[in-house]
Amino acid sequence: MDEKRLFEACFSLAEGLMWEKTTSQLEKLPEQMYELSVMTENFVSLSKKNFYQVENLADGQEILIGAIKYLNALAIPPLRGNYEWYEYSLTILLELANPGGGPNQSGLPYLLRARNGIEQLIEWANHPEDE
């Protein structure tokens, strides 16, 4: 696993979750840098813990990094230290990329709707933001 890329993705997520869109006060920066470091390390640890879900795939590492980046795009800060949110969300994204089992017929309506939602997300992602 490319530890540097994993760390960078987790750092970027932690940074995005730390602050609201307003600028932090300068005197709190040292305390916040420590918290940012702790959050990053916890996200890295949780990512490694859940990597088993996709590690058998040829592009497993790309799936993991992509899932972290996807969470960063979706997250609404501040979610400081909300590791449960991260682990649950990451687990779901990895499960969707590499299902470990399947639902019975009762799960089919949801899966069909989810497929429509994913297709819509792909369409949005294929269009530049300036259009």
Kindly tell me the burial class for residue 68, based on how many C-beta atoms sit within 10 Å of its own C-beta (0-12, 13-18, 19 or more): buried
| Amino acid found at 126 | N
Length of the chain: 131
Number of H helices, E strands in the chain: 5, 0
pLDDT at position 15: 85
What pLDDT, on the 0 to 100 scale, is given for residue 34?
Answer: 87
Question: What's the whole-number mean pLDDT along residues 73-86?
Answer: 83
CB under 8 Å to 64, separation ≥6 — which residues? 6, 47, 50, 51, 54, 94
The band of 57, judged by pLDDT with boundaries at 50, 70 and 90, is very high
**Hunting for tokens 């970027």 — which residue is that?**
12
SS3 for 98?
coil
Q: Is the pLDDT of residue 36 over 60?
A: yes
| Alpha-carbon gap, residue 96 to 110, rounded angstroms | 13
Q: pLDDT digits over 80-123, tens only?
A: 778 999 999 999 999 999 998 888 899 999 999 999 999 999 99
Is the pLDDT at 20 greater than 70? The verdict is: no
- C-beta of residue 86 within 8 angstroms of C-beta of residue 43: yes
Q: Residue 113's pLDDT is what? A: 95
Position 70 confidence tier, pLDDT thresholds 50, 70, 90: very high
